[in-house]
Chain A
């Protein structure tokens, strides 16, 4: 059971939350500009990084806001969380092993 820090409500138990998965690039404004391979990669491809990863989480049973969270997939350590549309906290180290 992870402890997830909601940027508005503070640390809450994982059961109050839903995970939206890896935070990908923004949805292209004109999907038709992408060819089939590029669109499929965008739709289903994920980096699936072994190390710090940025994800979206939803405080479903609380304030109902979505936010961004950095979690190290190797040991489930939560590194930081911040609202969408805002820069990640200063000093957040997303280094560590790649794929």
Chain B
């Protein structure tokens, strides 16, 4: 297939390796070394998408990561889909297929173009107006429509099959940017003995210098390319220097932590299955030098967004790298000297330069050189518009009067197929700013330049505002010496190379020629990706959003995936002008990582699927599995929900398990409960400061249920305290609270009372807990246990005894979460299976029944036992729960003082109540709101905290928190939850079974 804009020779391509790729269903050819953008340009394809809001035809603007227009959907194989990929950064590989986005049915004939006709109704922030009137229209009409319009690409719908890895590294100096300044700095530092990492975003280093063709400055008396080559060879010969290509520095944090994204596989012509697709590097450098370069600014004039309008340096880059011309008949708008270099190189390569317009009265020396070479330079002229649909067909030029206004009568329309714009440069200071470096407006550079920053950070070259390469090299030299000096590494003496270049004249910034964009502010684009025009920025100021952070969000300027790389400074300068303030008085909006979009895969690394979260299994997991458990996740634990038998529904299983515990004996795995051993001569004192109950006088062998409060009086956790010895206690806590309670105890012991002699050790690991609950539990244990008197007189409720089951030592606690006679057996984890199987074996006539979480929760709910995290939510106090009996009479404990605050004595505080649905089969929703009646104006009086179907009672029951002053027993309320019918309930006591606790103490 012909590539009309590809030159026969030149470029850094491998012409021996042609590549066929897909574009919107067509098959096109390119070469190894092409990007998708350069290959499309070579074919003369300029229309590559439709803009976000107004669906204007758009073409390739740049040659790098700043590309705002050419966002395409890339498919590399099944599951390997990347929407919104910048064509300028996609390297061509066999099998690649690209499609345009945001256009239907095709990019050429897009129905969405209607939006451009309606532009008057779609200014910035138009959707805010739809929130208000007419009422109801937002939900039914506007929101669905706006959601359909929003977005550019379509998300992939299959999992990403590629592998991504993370890597950590340390170095003395991280150099970000592999242009001449970065390369120089890296070699200097490496020769001083520093461990250096050098990263560059592109496939090959050399930065802007490598894109300079015939106009590249001579360095050290020879061609720039030779100097670069030698420098690279020297670098690659150094041990202790790591050079990463295709690696973007995503983030540089104020603490000095750097995040790099290395693209490892996508560019390979032959895939290597051993390689990850991308690597995320987490770097701790001792010092950082940023040599991140600069980005060219597009000009602002009516219809400045037509396909065929490119940045001048981008045209230069496509020519140098891929031997591609942006067009055959070119007009150049040179508001900056660098455009002349582009014009000269393109003319030399065979393009026809029809006009070079330059509004500046005093351009630099390159303008004279261009004129000498016979190029048509029009000094004092500017571009005032463009024509052509869908792509550029002509540029409108006009001379400017002394005030910078175009003289309409002298206007000229020049037919062309390429318009190169050069509005000066914005230094890439994002990483500098992320790390905490300061910026200040420099009027001559018309840019925000770095001023002072953290001592470990330096910036040099174009990114620091250097106007020439020599200046940049000087900055890098000084920076490296300073940074390494601070690390105790003296840099060797090294002379800077002589660079033959002339200092450029200042640029005319894109916003300067007001009369030009005033002609049609609605068609003069500032942020291409989000379709933000000059009119939008002016509207923002008029609407009161003069502050830069407000204006940015209201217009969405700088908020697209390009993060304003080609638009931020222009938008800020225009906002300043519209609000009558000098630019120097404003600061750029906060710059945040990532520098460019990063894949979720890279961020996740290996932490997906089974490795997303550690999975914890108890010592009894195999037993539960063998008994048919259905598991659920509780935190990182696998817990049995229930043990449904063959053909049994979950609900039926829960019913059967509950009945077994209430009438026979049930076995459950309670190993996830926290257990903390607290020892020391001050153990009792310490515990009494934390727990609400009496601990000092607790006899050895006894257990007591109590609460732990935060110092504001709210319940943190509940659990049982057992006295194991004179100075030794065992605490048990909820599963969810185990780590939290341990952290709580450590914090108070270490930070507040370090004078107390107490040791705190979590002992849940290495131990299993088997709950044996039900009226027949004692019977079962009598058959299995030895060395312990299990009679009710010798072993009352809330005590513990030591014994054996077979040869296994066991600590037996007589505690119950179910309200039945019951025990907890604490055994070594390695013997757990043995113990539970012994129990099952010795009591087949008793039918010991495995029961899971659902049954356990239902059983405790019947008794009204609270579950921390359900009946409590961080705002609930013991009095709210009706548990004042757990607050001992004497002595201070955490939270005691707060309980006396007026807030905790208010009559309308929540109170724990029982809720009995009028319909015995209706199950209220947990979290459902308690209300008097439905309808507008209803005030919630409380909410449901737990609910279940009770097999014991043959009906549904619930617990809730209800305003204490309204909690009259018998009162009827409704439980309201969205999208389901309300359930009528009667308020009652929060205990539905055996209020006296006779079954417990049996």
Same complex: yes
Using a CB–CB cutoff of 8 Å, the interface residues on chain A facing chain B are 1-3, 14, 18, 20, 23, 26-27, 30-32, 34, 36, 39-40, 43-44, 56, 58, 60, 64-66, 75-78, 84-85
Complex Cα spacing A14 to B454, Å: 19
Given contacts A58-B747, A64-B746, A84-B754, contact A2 B898 (CB under 8 A): no
Q: Is the CB of A30 within 8 A of B892?
A: yes
B193 at the A interface (CB under 8 A): no
Q: Are A27 and B752 touching (Cβ within 8 A)?
A: yes
- The answer to whether B253 touches A36 (Cβ under 8 A) is no
Closest CB in chain A relative to B753 CB, distance in Å? 9
- Contact call A66/B746, Cβ cutoff below 8 A: yes
**Across the interface, do B892 and A32 meet the contact criterion of CB distance under 8 Å?**
yes
Could you say which residues of chain B place their CB within 8 Å of the CB of A43?
A: 711-712, 898
Chain A residues lying within 8 Å of B898, measured Cβ to Cβ, are 39, 43
Q: Which residues of A sit under 8 angstroms from B284, Cβ to Cβ?
A: 3
Which chain A residue shows the least CB distance to B256? A3
Query: Is B254 interfacial (CB 8 A cutoff)?
Result: yes
Asked, given contacts A39-B901, A40-B901, whether A31 binds B746 with beta carbons under 8 Å apart, the answer is: no
B405 within 8 A of A: no
- A9 to B485 Cα, complex, angstroms: 27
Rounded to whole angstroms, the CA-CA distance of A66 and B255 in the bound complex is: 21
Chain B, residue nearest A66 (CB): B750
CB of A57, distance to nearest CB on chain B (Å): 10
Q: Are A36 and B901 in contact, with the CB atoms below 8 A?
A: yes
A48 to B194, CA, bound (A): 40
Q: Indicate which residue in A1, A3, A58, A85 contacts B746 across the interface (CB closer than 8 Å).
A: A58
* A1 and B751 contact, Cβ closer than 8 Å, known pairs A31-B892, A39-B897, A39-B901: no
* B743 CB-CB contact with A under 8 Å: yes
Q: Which of B248-289 contact A (CB under 8 A)?
A: 253-257, 284
Bound: A27/B284 CA distance, A: 39
Q: Report which of B255, B751, B901, B902 forms a contact with A84, defined as CB distance below 8 A.
A: B751
Q: A58-B743, A66-B747 are in contact. Are A31 and B897 (CB under 8 A)?
A: yes
Chain A residues in 8 Å Cβ range of B255: 1-3, 14, 76, 78
Chain B's nearest CB lies how many Å from the CB of A76?
Answer: 5
Which partner residue on chain A sits nearest B257 by CB separation? A1
Whether B776 sits at the interface, judged by CB under 8 Å, is no
Task: Determine how close the nearest CB of chain A comes to the CB of B688; give it in whole angstroms.
Answer: 14
For the complex, what is the distance from the CA of A18 to the CA of B454, rounded to whole Å? Answer: 25
| Shortest Cβ gap from A29 to chain B (Å) | 8
Do A32 and B256 have beta carbons less than 8 Å apart?
no
CA of A76 to CA of B253 in the docked complex: distance in angstroms? 10
* Complex CA distance for A17 and B256, rounded to whole angstroms: 18
Please indicate which of the listed interface residues B257, B454, B743, B897 has the most CB atoms of chain A within 10 Å of its own CB: B897
Contacts of A14 in B (CB 8 A): 255
For residue A27, which residues in chain B have a CB less than 8 angstroms away from its CB? 711, 752
Tell me, rounded to whole Å, the shortest Cβ–Cβ distance linking A40 to chain B.
Answer: 7
Pick from B712, B746, B750 the residue with the most CB of A within 10 Å: B750
The distance in angstroms between the C-alpha atoms of A27 and B749, with both chains bound, is: 12
Residues of chain A with a CB closer than 8 A to B747's CB = 20, 56, 58, 66
CA distance in complex: A14, B282 (Å): 13
Chain A hits for B901, CB < 8 A: 36, 39-40
A/B interface sample: 16 pairs, CB < 8 A: A1-B255, A1-B257, A3-B256, A3-B284, A20-B747, A31-B897, A32-B892, A39-B897, A39-B901, A40-B901, A44-B712, A56-B747, A56-B751, A66-B746, A66-B751, A85-B754
Within 8 Å CB of B900, what residues of A?
Answer: 36
Q: In the complex, what distance in Å separates the CA atom of A64 from the CA atom of B892?
A: 27
Whether, in the assembled complex, B335 has its beta carbon less than 8 Å from a beta carbon of chain A, the answer is no
A23 to B892, CA, bound (A): 22
Q: Is B940 engaged at the interface, CB distance under 8 Å to the other chain?
A: no
Contacting pair A75 B754 (CB below 8 A): no
Contacting pair A76 B751 (CB below 8 A): no
Q: How far is the CB of B487 from chain A (nearest CB, A)?
A: 15
B436 beta carbon closer than 8 Å to chain A: yes
Distance in angstroms from A70 CB to nearest chain B CB is 15
Given contacts A1-B257, A30-B892, A36-B900, 12 further A-B contacts (CB under 8 A): A1-B253, A20-B747, A31-B896, A32-B897, A39-B897, A39-B898, A40-B901, A43-B711, A75-B254, A75-B436, A75-B454, A76-B436
Nearest A residue to B760, CB-CB: A64
Which chain B residues in 746-796 approach chain A with CB under 8 Å?
746-747, 750-752, 754
Contact indicator B254/A76 (Cβ below 8 Å): yes
SS class of chain B's interface: helix, strand, loop or mixed? Answer: loop
**Binary A-proximity of B445-487 (CB < 8 A = 1, otherwise 0):** 0000000001000000000000000000000000000000000
B754 proximity list for chain A (CB < 8 A): 84-85
Q: How far is the CB of B313 from chain A (nearest CB, A)?
A: 35
A51 to chain B, nearest CB (A): 15
Complex alpha-carbon distance, A75 and B752, angstroms: 29
Cβ-closest chain B residue relative to A85 = B754
How distant is the Cα of A31 from the Cα of B752 in the complex, in angstroms?
14
Complex CA gap A75/B284 in Å reads: 18
CA distance A40 to B253 in the complex (A): 37
B821 to chain A, nearest CB (A): 39
Could you say which residues of chain B place their CB within 8 Å of the CB of A30?
892
For B752, give its contact among A26, A39, A60 (CB under 8 Å): A26
Residues of A within 8 A of B743 (CB): 18, 58, 60
CA distance A26 to B582 in the complex (A): 51
**List of 4 A-B pairs having minimum Cβ-Cβ separation, nearest first:** A31-B897, A66-B750, A1-B257, A2-B255
Shortest beta-carbon distance, B490 to chain A, in Å?
Answer: 25
Given the complex of chains A and B, what is the CA–CA distance between A74 and B730 in angstroms? 44
Q: Which residues of A have CB within 8 Å of B902?
A: 36
Q: Which residue of B lies closest to A2 (CB)?
A: B255
Give complex CA distance A20, B744 in Å. 11
Contact A84 B712, beta carbon cutoff 8 Å? no
Q: How far is the CB of A14 from chain B (nearest CB, A)?
A: 8
A11's closest neighbor in chain B, by CB?
B284
List residues of B (666-723) whose CB comes within 8 Å of A's CBs.
Answer: 711-712
Closest to B739 in A: A60
Q: Which residue of A lies closest to B710 (CB)?
A: A43
- Chain B nearest CB, measured from A62 CB (Å): 13
Residues in A neighbouring B256, C-beta threshold 8 A:
3
> How far apart are the CA atoms of A36 and B712 in the complex, in Å?
12
Which of B254, B751, B897 is within 8 Å of A20, CB to CB? B751
- Contact partners of A66 in chain B: CB under 8 A: 746-747, 750-751
- Tell me the bound Cα distance from A34 to B712 in angstroms: 14
Closest to A29 in B: B892
Query: Closest approach, in angstroms, between the C-beta of A16 and any C-beta of chain B?
Result: 13
Give Cα distance in the complex from A26 to B711, angstroms: 13
Q: Give chain B nearest CB distance to A82 CB in angstroms.
A: 13
Q: Chain B's nearest CB lies how many Å from the CB of A39?
A: 6
Q: In the complex, A34→B711 CA distance in Å? A: 14
Which residue of A has the minimal Cβ distance to B168? A13
- In the complex, which of the residues A3, A44, A66, A76 has the most CB atoms of chain B within 10 Å of its own CB atom? A66
CA A40 – CA B254 in complex, angstroms? 35
Name the residue on B nearest A1 (C-beta): B257
Listed residue (A14, A36, A78) with the most chain B CB atoms within 10 angstroms of its CB:
A36
| Interface 0/1 of B887-927, CB less than 8 Å to A | 00000100011101110000000000000000000000000
What is the minimal beta-carbon distance from B731 to any residue of chain A, in angstroms?
17
**Which residues does chain B contribute within 8 Å of A56, judged by CB atoms?**
747, 751
Q: How does the 8 Å CB contact mask read for B419-441 relative to A, with 1 for contact and 0 for none?
A: 00000000000000000100000
User: In the complex, what residues of B have CB within 8 A of residue A58's CB?
Assistant: 743, 746-747
Chain B positions within 8 Å of A77 at CB level: 254
Residues of chain A with a CB closer than 8 A to B750's CB:
65-66, 84
Question: Once bound together, how far apart are the Cα atoms of A75 and B255, in whole Å?
Answer: 9
Cα of A1 to Cα of B168 in the assembled complex, Å: 13
- Give the Cβ gap from B325 to chain A, nearest Cβ, in Å: 46
A84 CB to closest chain B CB (Å) equals: 6
| B892: chain A residues within 8 A (beta carbon) | 30-32
Using CB atoms, name the residue of chain B closest to A26: B752
Query: Per-position contact with A for B983-997: 1 when CB-CB < 8 Å, else 0?
Result: 000000000000000
CA distance A3 to B454 in the complex (A): 15
